């Protein structure tokens, strides 16, 4: 028997847990799921990218954001913005469990950089239009896939669980590219927070709104699910009360410590911006 | 050929490139190397940190209008984006946005020469790139954001998304633009997927001429500093077409017509997606 976390799909599991729906749509790839559910007394839209062993693009069968995933995310988020025009913009929850962008020759030829940019554009535009965007990290949040699905959110929440990982490149690939053994990368990650993969280290960077502890990511109980729903609703209220930009990522207590250079650069740029 | 020599843009440093884009005599660098704003993370790993972190931010004028240029130095750490270099780019765009929102238009130009996230700063580089993306999308509503990928590093990783978000993207034949570098694809998917040492193949997929011919870049220029500066000026004087990154329906229909088991050859894609004049 495998350990439970080896064979579950955290993204799909949490989409089902939070919306009582698998989010399968009539058309488009089976990898991009969308479901609507009440959250904090209002209708919210949930979007997840999930694995699909039958995906027609073979490089996007294991939870990667590929060409159709990027463009479909863009289409669905844009449709949500269009549908809410003139009304109160509804919350959008991105459930994040994405292993990477799709690596392939066909993907590069057909412009996967543009497909992922389209998803970035759609989420950022929805945020600027007043939709509270909340990302919930329940599994991997890797590299370009996280940029496309989650990183433009007003608020980022994460489950404090071993399978929740954030990084710019998979450990094996990072070892090859930097010509460092995996053991050395792990030693560096333990010492230098931005190099680590685990979510507790990521929380020290000041980019997270909430790290949710004591919840089982792989097999959530009904109480776990209610707690996460409560956290999402609170994050949505917080986002509605704040600005439409990403400023909280620079003002949190952890950011003031770990992203001090990011803050200092902005302050000194502002001082020098206009000619003396 | 005329006797007037072409001046290479590619051979210029980031600082010289920014100077070449701005109107003569208007270049003013912000956070220059004497400010010593270095990466706080490289030294911890035994890597010598350069005192501008490989990004030049310059104010000045373009065709007489107030401007800011963010130029990445491809010769330093492969143009990789770390915490400081990323914050310089994002911060400059955020200030341009602030000015545009208060009615003072600032013309933003990105000179992109980068392998993407600096792996020695990993998650803080990725975070900065997300902030660069956010700033481009917000700024693009007020003023065109002009990107240039000249070469020879090219533009990869999360910064290839930044290039794709620009209102107007200028490339040369020496440029490469792609999300995953050929070496990374070869490592992740095998040499059967892509032989990174096959330069002809790599350029046929990711090269500036191909990106232009398939409609994924707006202008293809020779490696000529004055021609590139003139095209940047022209881009600010004209109305940008609707951004490609907003055309989800169109691109999904294009993808639906493609069989992933038999994808088109690069040349054939030009006929399928390209502008009439570039085929």
What whole-number distance in Å separates Cα of residue B214 and Cα of residue A166?
A: 34
Question: pLDDT of A213-225, one tens digit each?
Answer: 999 998 999 999 9
pLDDT the model gives residue A7: 52
CB A202 within 8 A of CB A196: yes
A96 contacts chain B (CB < 8 A): no
Min CA distance, B202 vs chain A (Å)? Answer: 9
A265 contacts chain B (CB < 8 A): yes
Question: pLDDT of A4-18, one tens digit each?
Answer: 444 568 999 999 999
Of A100, A117, A168, the CB nearest to B119: A168
**3-state class (DSSP) for residue A198:** strand
Question: Residues 107..136 of A with a Cβ closer than 8 Å to B: which?
Answer: 107-118, 120-122, 124-125, 128
Which residues of chain A neighbour B250 with C-beta distances below 8 Å? none
pLDDT the model gives residue B277: 53
- Residue A3 pLDDT more than 50? no
Question: pLDDT of B150-186, one tens digit each?
Answer: 999 999 999 999 999 999 999 999 999 999 988 888 8
Interchain proximity B188–A106, CB inside 8 Å: no
Name the residue in chain B with its Cα closest to that of A112: B179
Distance, CA of B240 to chain centre: 17
Min CA distance, B223 vs chain A (Å)? Answer: 23
Rounded to the nearest 10 degrees, what angle do helices A182-191 and A171-178 cross at? 100
Q: What would the mean pLDDT of A63-78 be, rounded to a whole number?
A: 98
pLDDT the model gives residue A180: 85
Q: Using 50, 70 and 90 to split pLDDT, how confident is the model at B4?
A: low
Of A113, A148, A191, the CB nearest to B178: A113
Question: pLDDT of A35-61, one tens digit each?
Answer: 999 999 999 999 999 999 999 999 999
Which residues of chain B neighbour A148 with C-beta distances below 8 Å? 161
Which residues of chain B neighbour A117 with C-beta distances below 8 Å? 133, 160-162, 164-165, 245
Question: Residues 185..214 of A with a Cβ closer than 8 Å to B: which?
Answer: 188, 191-196, 202, 205, 207
Would you mind telling me the total number of residues written for chain A in this entry? Answer: 276
Give how far Cα A130 sits from Cα of A50, A85, A122, A127, A241, Å. Answer: 27, 10, 13, 5, 11
Task: Out of A175-189, A248-262, B88-102, B164-178, pick the least confident.
Answer: A175-189
What whole-number distance in Å separates Cα of residue B190 and Cα of residue A211?
A: 37
The verdict on whether omega for the bond into residue B152 sits within 30 degrees of 0, i.e. cis, is yes
Name the residue in chain A with its Cα closest to that of B83: A262
Residue to substitute from B251, B256, B261, interface A, most A β-carbons within 10 A: B251
- Residue B74 pLDDT more than 80? yes
pLDDT the model gives residue A47: 98
């Amino acid at each position: 028997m495998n350990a439970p976390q080896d064979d579950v799909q955290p993204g799909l599991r949490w989409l089902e847990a939070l919306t009582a729906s698998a989010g399968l749509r009539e058309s488009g790839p089976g990898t991009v799921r969308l479901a609507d559910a009440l959250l904090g007394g209002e209708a919210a839209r949930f979007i997840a990218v999930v694995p699909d062993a039958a995906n027609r693009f073979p490089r996007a069968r294991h939870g990667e954001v590929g060409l159709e995933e990027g463009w479909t995310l863009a289409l669905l988020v844009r449709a949500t913005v269009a549908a809410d025009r003139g009304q109160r913009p509804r919350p959008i929850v991105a459930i994040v469990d994405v292993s990477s962008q799709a690596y392939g020759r066909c993907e590069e030829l057909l412009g996967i950089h543009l497909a992922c940019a389209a998803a970035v554009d759609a989420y950022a535009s929805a945020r600027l239009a007043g939709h509270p965007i909340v990302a919930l990290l329940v599994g991997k949040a890797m590299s370009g896939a996280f940029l496309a699905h989650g990183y433009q959110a007003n608020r980022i929440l994460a489950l404090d669980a071993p399978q929740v990982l954030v990084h710019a490149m998979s450990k094996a690939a990072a070892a090859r590219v930097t010509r460092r053994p995996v053991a050395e990368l792990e030693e560096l990650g333990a010492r230098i927070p931005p190099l680590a993969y685990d979510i507790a280290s990521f929380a020290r960077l000041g980019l997270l709104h909430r790290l949710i502890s004591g919840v089982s990511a792989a097999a959530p109980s009904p109480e776990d699910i209610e707690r996460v729903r409560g956290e999402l609703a609170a994050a949505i209220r917080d986002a509605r009360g704040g600005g439409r930009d990403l400023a909280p990522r620079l003002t949190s207590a952890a950011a003031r410590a770990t992203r001090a250079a990011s803050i200092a650069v902005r302050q000194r740029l502002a001082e020098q911006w206009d000619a003396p | 050929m005329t006797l007037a020599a072409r001046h290479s843009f590619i051979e210029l440093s980031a600082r010289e490139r920014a100077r070449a884009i701005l109107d003569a005599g208007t270049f003013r660098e912000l956070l220059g190397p004497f400010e010593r704003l270095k990466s706080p993370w490289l030294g911890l790993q035994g890597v010598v940190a350069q005192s501008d972190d490989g990004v030049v931010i310059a104010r000045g004028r373009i065709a007489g209008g107030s401007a800011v240029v963010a130029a990445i130095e491809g010769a330093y750490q492969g143009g990789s984006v770390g915490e400081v270099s990323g914050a310089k780019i994002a911060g400059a765009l955020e200030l341009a946005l602030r000015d545009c929102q208060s009615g003072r238009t600032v013309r933003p130009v990105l000179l992109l020469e980068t392998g993407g996230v600096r792996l020695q700063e990993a998650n803080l580089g990725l975070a900065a790139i997300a902030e660069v993306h956010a700033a481009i999308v917000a700024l693009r509503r007020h003023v065109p954001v002009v990107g240039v990928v000249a070469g020879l590093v090219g533009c990869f990783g999360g910064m290839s998304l930044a290039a794709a978000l620009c209102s107007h993207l200028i490339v040369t034949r020496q440029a490469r633009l792609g999300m995953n570098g050929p070496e990374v694809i070869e490592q992740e998917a095998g040499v059967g997927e892509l032989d990174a040492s096959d330069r002809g193949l790599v350029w046929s997929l990711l090269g500036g001429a191909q990106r232009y011919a398939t409609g994924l870049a707006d202008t293809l220029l020779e490696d000529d500093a004055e021609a590139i500066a003139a095209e940047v000026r022209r881009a600010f004087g004209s109305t940008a077409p609707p951004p490609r990154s907003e055309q989800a329906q169109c691109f999904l229909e294009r993808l639906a017509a493609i069989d992933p088991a038999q994808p088109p050859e690069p040349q054939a894609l030009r006929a399928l997606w390209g502008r009439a004049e570039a085929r």
